[in-house]
Amino acid sequence: DAGVIQSPRHEVTEMGQEVTLRCKPISGHDYLFWYRQTMMRGLELLIYFNNNVPIDDSGMPEDRFSAKMPNASFSNLKIQPSEPRDSAVYFCASSLAVYNEQFFGPGTRLTVL
Amino acid sequence: AQKITQTQPGMFVQEKEAVTLDCTYDTSDPSYGLFWYKQPSSGEMIFLIYQGSYDQQNATEGRYSLNFQKARKSANLVISASQLGDSAMYFCAMSPGSSNTGKLIFGQGTTLQVKP
């Protein structure tokens, strides 16, 4: 079975541009998580979904960030407008249920110039 | 406050020897889960091992074992017979039970280098 799939793997953009990160969770997993990893702040949970419904978005930095999960096999994270401080690796993860291990995608390395 | 603390920013171990990576946690929830993940230089996050707070025995997965000491709130990862491929960053994480969400709180990580 394929693992969690993320695209693109690398994204370089200029400040002010819209950025869209995509994620396909493992089939059958009911939970989907978006994380951000930086040297300064480590791994932070941004938002997570249960059965396509956003449950907790308290980690989303500000209104420039939004995430949707239109169906069980796709989620996207948008940043509009992007800023240099958004530069980070963004991970998507999915899990079968609460307390199950989360399986991470390969990450998207975002650089905002 | 719910928190994971990894006090060792970096560790060295000789190939074929065992190494222990420390992790302490703080939670008032009686029910929680503890996880270890490995992040090699390629960047992906790899799940290693899980321990539930009510599990009576320490978790083991191949060369990985989790030394769970509930009273001390510690969940150290033991890697036996280290291999060069074990060189990576290791993260301890906790899923607190009160929220019943599976939400993970990560520590800052420990970088392990295995010497040949």
Closest chain A residue to B109, measured at CA: A42
Closest chain B residue to A35, measured at CA: B104
For residue A82, what pLDDT band results from cuts at 50, 70 and 90? very high
pLDDT above 60 for A20: yes
Residue A69: its pLDDT value, please? 97
Tokens standing for residue A51: 């059965």
Residue B30: its pLDDT value, please? 87
What sign results for the dihedral spanned by CA atoms B82, B57, B25, A61? positive
Q: Per the CB < 8 Å rule, is B108 touching A91?
A: no
For residue B66, what pLDDT band results from cuts at 50, 70 and 90? very high
Tokens standing for residue A89: 């690796």
Q: What is the C-alpha separation between A46 and A89, in angstroms, rounded?
A: 12
Tokens 């370089």 appear where?
A12
Calculate how close chain B gets to A14, using CA atoms only, in Å: 24
Average pLDDT, chain A: 94
Residue B56: its pLDDT value, please? 87
Mean local confidence (pLDDT), A10-38? 96
Residue A98: its pLDDT value, please? 66
Contact between B77 and B36 (Cβ < 8 Å): yes
Tokens standing for residue A71: 């169906």
Residue B39: its pLDDT value, please? 96
Average pLDDT, chain B: 92
Contact between A43 and A110 (Cβ < 8 Å): no
Chain B residues in contact with A90 (beta carbon < 8 A):
none
Tokens 């190494």 appear where?
B19
Mean local confidence (pLDDT), B43-50? 94
- Encode pLDDT of B71-116 as tens digits: 999 999 999 999 999 999 999 999 876 555 667 899 999 999 999 9
Mean local confidence (pLDDT), A54-61? 90
For residue A84, what pLDDT band results from cuts at 50, 70 and 90? very high
Mean local confidence (pLDDT), B43-52? 93
Contacting residues for B57 by C-beta, under 8 A, at least 6 apart: none
Tokens 């939004």 appear where?
A66
Lowest mean per-residue pLDDT among A32-36, A56-60, A75-79, B80-84: A56-60
- Tell me the CA distances in angstroms from B66 to A51, B10, B36, B51, B61, one per residue in order: 31, 19, 9, 7, 9
Calculate how close chain A gets to B3, using CA atoms only, in Å: 12
Chain A residues in contact with B106 (beta carbon < 8 A):
42-43
Mean local confidence (pLDDT), B49-63? 93
User: Regarding predicted confidence, which is higher, B99 or A80?
Assistant: A80
